[in-house]
């Protein structure tokens, strides 16, 4: 499908202003909040919001509320993306380069805050992780979603204290747990050895670039990690890349919620995820999602959702 002349002119008009081009360029890297963009551009939030509204109305970008914050990302529409990529491709601008340097600073601050949080909470993590959810119910549902196995190779991304490895490691010929925090990995090491598991590899690494081979795992788990990340869709794509023919990716995270204090107190970036959002990422990553499982809280806690997706033989051939 292509755009009509009117649609093209509308889209170009919406993008045709220096601040708006700078915003498009920033959003080509990752989804950002109005607050972050206003800080990077050094312009007021109402002013930035006005530019964003114009581009949202023209279908160039998408707005999505997350608790009390509003985030923006580039449109998923293929034609809009082609137009934006073409414009950004020919753009060479000093202001844009300075913006990306400031974006790097913002990103670095965010990552350092999250990393130092995990380094500090590592010893208490097993107590903290059960504060807002009924762990037993989640793990029983997870057992059903994962299936009986046995598995050739389980990969647990953002393994933390290694709980997923101790749950599923016994049914796997070998498992890999990957995490950015050395303190978390030390706790995982102790837990894995206490559980008597010897075929477990614990690696220091980043979920966005795992350096694990494509199609190398029949079970990939991302348990309570996505809500900390700046670009959760990129993490889903990397996790999906690891899934082999007839293998499975299981993501566990919160459904959308409004516990705004989780951002400050526990470094959450996103307040949960809608089924449609995760399923879109899974399909874009070449997997076939099955129906999500929602686990509501007993009383005041958060709803946890389990999203499962598989790679069919045809999909595996296509991505080979
Ligand atoms: C909330 S903990 C969950 C740990 C474990 N999956 C569980 O459910 O108990 C999130 C983990 O993700 C890790 N993490 C955060 N960002 C990461 C990244 N970019 N790459 C790898 N691990 C990351 C943190 O260090 C932390 O151990």
pLDDT band at 315 (very low <50, low <70, confident <90, very high): low
157 and 67 assigned to the same domain? no
Instruction: Report the candidate in 89, 95, 110 with the shortest Cα–Cα distance to residue 43.
Output: 95
64 and 130 assigned to the same domain? no
173 and 83 assigned to the same domain? no
Q: How far apart are CA 222 and CA 236, in angstroms?
A: 8
Q: Is the CB of 181 under 6 A from ligand 1?
A: yes
Q: What percent of the chain has pLDDT over 90?
A: 67
pLDDT band at 317 (very low <50, low <70, confident <90, very high): low
88 and 129 assigned to the same domain? no
Q: Is the CB of 166 under 6 A from ligand 1?
A: no
Residue 266 lies in a domain: yes
Per-residue pLDDT at 305 exceeds 80: yes
Q: Is the CB of 180 under 6 A from ligand 1?
A: yes
Using DSSP's 3-state secondary structure scheme, residue 7 falls into helix
pLDDT tens digits along 118-170: 888 888 877 777 766 778 888 999 999 998 889 999 999 999 999 999 999 99
What pLDDT is attached to residue 159? 97
Rounded average pLDDT over 13-35: 93
Residue 112 lies in a domain: no
CA of 223, closest atom in ligand 1: 6
Residue 231 lies in a domain: yes
Atom 26, ligand 1: which residue's CA is nearest?
160
Q: Is the CB of 233 under 6 A from ligand 1?
A: no
**Structural domain range at position 26:** 5-92
Residue 98 lies in a domain: no
Q: How far apart are CA 132 and CA 124, in angstroms?
A: 15
What pLDDT is attached to residue 319? 58
Q: How far apart are CA 320 and CA 245, in angstroms?
A: 10
The domain total for the chain is 2
Q: How far apart are CA 257 and CA 263, in angstroms?
A: 12
Q: Is the CB of 207 under 6 A from ligand 1?
A: yes
CA of 111, closest atom in ligand 1: 16
Contacts of residue 56, Cβ cutoff 8 Å, sequence gap at least 6: 62, 63, 72
74 and 185 assigned to the same domain? no
Instruction: Report the candidate in 295, 234, 318, 302 with the shortest Cα–Cα distance to residue 268.
Output: 302
199 and 282 assigned to the same domain? yes
Of the candidates 45, 75, 92, which is a domain's last residue? 92
158 and 248 assigned to the same domain? yes
What pLDDT is attached to residue 320? 57
Per-residue pLDDT at 225 exceeds 70: yes
For the ranges 14-23, 83-92, 170-179, 219-228, which has the lowest average pLDDT?
83-92
CATH of the domain at 230: 3.40.50.150
Rounded average pLDDT over 166-192: 93
201 and 299 assigned to the same domain? yes
140 and 258 assigned to the same domain? yes
CA-based Rg of the chain, rounded to a whole angstrom? Answer: 21
Of the candidates 92, 107, 134, which is a domain's last residue? 92
From ligand 1's centre to the CA of 160, what distance in Å? 5
Report in angstroms the alpha-carbon separations of 258 from 65, 135, 301.
Answer: 11, 20, 11
In degrees to the nearest 10, what's the CA dihedral of 88, 90, 93, 98?
Answer: 40
What pLDDT is attached to residue 316? 57
From ligand 1's centre to the CA of 99, what distance in Å? 29
Mean of the per-residue pLDDT values of the chain = 90
Per-residue pLDDT at 199 exceeds 60: yes
CATH of the domain at 21: 1.10.10.10
Report the predicted TM-score, pTM, of the whole model to 2 decimal places: 0.85
Of the candidates 92, 113, 138, which is a domain's last residue? 92
Q: How far apart are CA 243 and CA 238, in angstroms?
A: 9
Residue 83 lies in a domain: yes
Residue 106 lies in a domain: no
CA of 206, closest atom in ligand 1: 20
Q: Is the CB of 248 under 6 A from ligand 1?
A: no
Residue 206 carries which DSSP code? B
CA of 160, closest atom in ligand 1: 27
pLDDT tens digits along 247-298: 999 999 999 998 998 898 888 999 999 999 999 999 999 999 999 999 988 7
76 and 203 assigned to the same domain? no
Rounded average pLDDT over 58-74: 91
Atom 12, ligand 1: which residue's CA is nearest?
158
Q: Are strands 172-179 and 69-74 parallel, antiparallel or unpaired?
A: unpaired
Q: How far apart are CA 55 and CA 315, in angstroms?
A: 35
Token pair 């979603």 is at which residue? 145
From ligand 1's centre to the CA of 89, what distance in Å? 34
85 and 139 assigned to the same domain? no
Q: Which run of H or E residues covers position 152? A: strand 151-157
For 92-97, the CB contacts below 8 A with 24+ separation are: 93/21, 93/22, 93/25, 95/18, 95/22, 96/21, 96/22, 96/25
What pLDDT is attached to residue 116? 87
Residue 120 lies in a domain: no
Q: How far apart are CA 232 and CA 158, in angstroms?
A: 12
Atom 14, ligand 1: which residue's CA is nearest?
158
pLDDT band at 318 (very low <50, low <70, confident <90, very high): low
Residue 107 lies in a domain: no
CA of 252, closest atom in ligand 1: 8
64 and 151 assigned to the same domain? no
Q: How far apart are CA 154 and CA 219, in angstroms?
A: 5
């Amino acid at each position: 499908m292509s755009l009509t002349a009117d649609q093209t002119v509308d889209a170009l008009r919406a993008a045709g202003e220096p601040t708006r081009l700078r915003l498009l360029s920033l959003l080509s890297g990752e989804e950002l909040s109005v607050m972050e963009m206003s800080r990077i551009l050094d312009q007021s939030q109402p002013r930035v919001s006005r530019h964003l509204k114009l581009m949202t109305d023209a279908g160039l970008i998408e707005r999505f509320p997350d608790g009390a914050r509003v985030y923006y990302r580039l449109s998923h529409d293929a034609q809009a993306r082609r137009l934006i990529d073409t414009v950004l491709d020919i753009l060479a601008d000093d202001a844009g380069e300075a913006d990306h340097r400031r974006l790097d600073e913002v990103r670095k601050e965010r990552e350092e805050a999250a990393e130092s949080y995990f380094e500090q909470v590592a010893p208490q993590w097993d107590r903290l992780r059960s504060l807002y959810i009924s762990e037993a119910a989640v793990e029983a549902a997870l057992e059903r979603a994962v299936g009986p196995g046995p598995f050739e190779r389980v990969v647990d991304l953002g393994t933390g204290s290694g709980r997923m490895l101790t749950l599923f490691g016994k049914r796997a010929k070998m498992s890999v747990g990957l995490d950015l925090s050395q303190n978390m990995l030390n706790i995982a090491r102790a837990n894995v050895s206490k559980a008597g598991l010897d075929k477990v590899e614990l690696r220091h690494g980043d979920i966005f670039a795992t350096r694990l081979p494509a199609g190398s795992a029949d079970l990939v788990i991302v348990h309570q990690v996505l809500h900390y990340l700046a670009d959760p869709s990129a993490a889903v794509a990397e996790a999906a890349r690891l899934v082999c023919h007839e293998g499975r990716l299981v993501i566990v995270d919160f459904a959308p919620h409004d516990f705004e204090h989780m951002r400050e107190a526990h470094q959450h970036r996103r307040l949960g995820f809608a089924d449609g959002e995760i399923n879109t990422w899974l399909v874009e990553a070449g997997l076939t999602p099955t129906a999500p499982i929602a686990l509501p809280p007993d009383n005041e806690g958060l709803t946890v959702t389990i999203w499962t997706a598989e790679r069919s033989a045809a999909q595996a051939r296509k991505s080979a």
